[in-house]
């Protein structure tokens, strides 16, 4: 990658790389639920998964806006960055809160591709979105933590060497605040799997390599702790804000993919002796989707700018994620409708992208929870829970 490339250079280069992985590649993997190893390898070699890692550690040292540009272009091309985006947003936790020793040991290897940091373990079956009620517990014993518990929907765990794990190190009832008593551990999956950690794949409506995890007296060294014990919730929030902004950028890419495809099809497809795009009933929904995606992209830029500046950005990250995921879903629906029956044919890639972009209204945070945040934290309305 060239020195300090502009976002426009990055976009062009990512588009060129993605052209090597056309729809047929993604359709084949989707059919058999296979991880896109070659694609992730190509992105790693080109340096795109380490854009956020400082140059001193072998990365490009760019800001979140550059990472957003990478993911948006991946999605606009018809590909899917979900196979590897965690390598970017985990930096929100590790770069800001990891010790110099942890960063020295890990970041150069992540930047070179020797180590994969693709797994982010927060969600549990019993707690859902109510993160303070997670039960996975790391108990100190001598120079080790002993971990017991269960996680669900932990994506890419089978394709990652390291995982950032949120667990309790003090029971919720003993902690001063509900958010106290949680800690972040960096788990070496190569050591853990089969020695107290079991990974079980969960098949879903999209090709997402997601899993459930079972911890049964997994022992890890105390040096696995990121930052201070009991303060992990705050560290994880930095990763979550980055995650919401980056995923919002993926939604913008999806939205633009759908609009590009819908407009092209509406220009070409002739019915009743004229292009269907001549009918305002066809062109207005596409134009409306374009307006929504363009507006959402400004919200994503705003949130990324605040994150980069180290300013509080929780509300903006949430609003970016919500507006972008709703815009991409609307564009998906319009694109499918514009294609008529052909929208359902696998060969057009519309139905695959339609399924893929639907996820983002649920994960990494569902729309209701964003509305609840805005209602209470931004507008000062009474809390409902």
- Interacting residue ranges for ligand FAD, rule: CB under 6 A: 120-123, 128-129, 153-155, 204, 208, 210, 359, 362-366, 368-369, 372, 385
C-alpha to C-alpha distance for 89 and 271, rounded to whole angstroms:
46
Nearer to ligand FAD, 37 or 129 (CB): 129
CA angle at residue 362 from 357 to 365, to 5 degrees?
120
> CB atoms < 10 A from the CB of 182, how many?
27
Q: Which residues contact 264 (CB under 8 A, 6 or more apart)?
A: none
Q: Smallest distance, Å, CB 265 to ligand FAD?
A: 28
- Least separation in angstroms between residue 143's CB and ligand FAD is 28
Cβ at position 356, least distance to ligand FAD in Å: 10
Query: In this complex, which beta carbon is closest to ligand FAD, that of residue 122 or of residue 330?
Result: 122
Q: How far is the CB of 154 from ligand FAD (least distance, A)?
A: 5
* Cα–Cα distance for residue pair 266/174, rounded to 1 Å: 61
- Give whichever of 93 and 210 is closer to ligand FAD, judged by the CB atom: 210
Residue whose CB is nearest to ligand FAD in the complex, by number: 128
What Cα–Cα distance (Å) separates residue 181 from each residue in 71, 95, 186, 232, 299? 34, 21, 17, 8, 33
Is the CB of 67 or the CB of 209 nearer to ligand FAD?
A: 209
Compute and round to an integer the Cα radius of gyration of the chain. 21
The single residue listed with the structure tokens 């106290």 is: 180
**What is the sign, positive or negative, of the torsion defined by CA atoms of 128, 64, 19, 332?**
positive
Residue placing its CB nearer to ligand FAD in the complex, 211 or 283: 211
Least Cβ distance, residue 302 to ligand FAD (angstroms): 23
Closer residue to ligand FAD, CB minimum distance, 200 or 267: 200
For the CB of residue 205, give the shortest distance to ligand FAD in the complex, in Å: 9
By beta-carbon proximity to ligand FAD, the closer residue of 217 and 368 is: 368
> Distance of alpha carbon 75 from its chain centroid, rounded?
12
Cβ neighbors of 380 (< 8 A, separation 6 or more) are: none
Task: Kindly state the smallest distance separating residue 142's Cβ from ligand FAD, in Å.
Answer: 29
Residue 157 has which token pair?
A: 């765990």
User: Between residues 31 and 267, which has the closer beta carbon with respect to ligand FAD?
Assistant: 31
Toward ligand FAD, which CB reaches closer, 112 or 376? 376
83 HSE (CA, 13 A, CB side): 22
Instruction: Please calculate the CA angle 61-62-65 and round it to the nearest 5 degrees.
Output: 160
Cβ closer to ligand FAD: 153 or 258? 153
Whether omega before 364 lies within 30 degrees of 0, making that bond cis, reads: yes
């Amino acid at each position: 990658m060239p020195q300090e490339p502009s976002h426009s250079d990055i976009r062009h280069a990512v588009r060129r790389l993605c052209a090597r992985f056309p729809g047929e590649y993604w359709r084949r993997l989707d059919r058999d639920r296979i991880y896109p190893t070659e694609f992730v390898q190509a992105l790693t070699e080109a340096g795109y998964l380490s854009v956020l890692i400082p140059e001193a550690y072998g990365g490009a040292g760019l800001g979140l806006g550059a990472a957003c540009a990478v993911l948006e272009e991946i999605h606009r091309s018809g590909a899917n960055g979900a196979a590897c985006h965690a390598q970017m947003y985990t930096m929100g936790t590790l770069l800001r809160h990891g010790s110099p020793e942890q960063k020295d040991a890990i970041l150069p290897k992540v930047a070179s591709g020797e180590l994969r940091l693709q797994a982010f373990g927060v969600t549990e079956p019993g707690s859902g979105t109510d993160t303070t009620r997670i039960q996975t517990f790391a108990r100190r014993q001598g120079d080790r933590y002993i971990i017991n518990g269960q996680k669900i929907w932990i994506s890419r765990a089978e394709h990652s060497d390291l995982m950032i794990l949120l667990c309790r190190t003090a029971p919720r009832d003993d902690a001063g605040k509900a958010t106290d008593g949680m800690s972040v551990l960096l788990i070496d999956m190569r050591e853990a799997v089969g020695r107290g950690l079991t990974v079980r794949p969960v098949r879903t409506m999209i090709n997402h390599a997601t899993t459930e995890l079972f911890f049964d007296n997994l022992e890890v060294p105390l040096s696995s702790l990121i930052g201070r014990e009991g303060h992990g919730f705050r560290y994880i929030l930095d990763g979550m804000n980055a995650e919401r902004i980056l995923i919002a950028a993926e939604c913008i890419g999806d939205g633009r993919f759908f609009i590009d495809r819908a407009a092209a099809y509406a220009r070409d497809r002739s019915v009743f002796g004229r292009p269907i795009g001549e009918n305002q009933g066809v062109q207005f929904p596409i134009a409306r989707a374009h307006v929504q995606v363009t507006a959402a992209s400004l919200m994503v830029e705003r949130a990324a700018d605040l994150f980069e500046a180290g300013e509080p950005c929780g509300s903006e990250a949430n609003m970016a994620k919500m507006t972008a995921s709703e815009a991409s879903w609307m564009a998906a629906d319009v694109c499918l409708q514009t294609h008529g029956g052909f929208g359902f044919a696998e060969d057009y890639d519309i139905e695959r992208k339609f399924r893929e972009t639907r996820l983002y209204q649920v994960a990494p945070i569902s729309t209701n929870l964003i509305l609840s945040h805005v209602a209470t934290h931004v507008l000062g309305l009474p809390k409902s829970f």
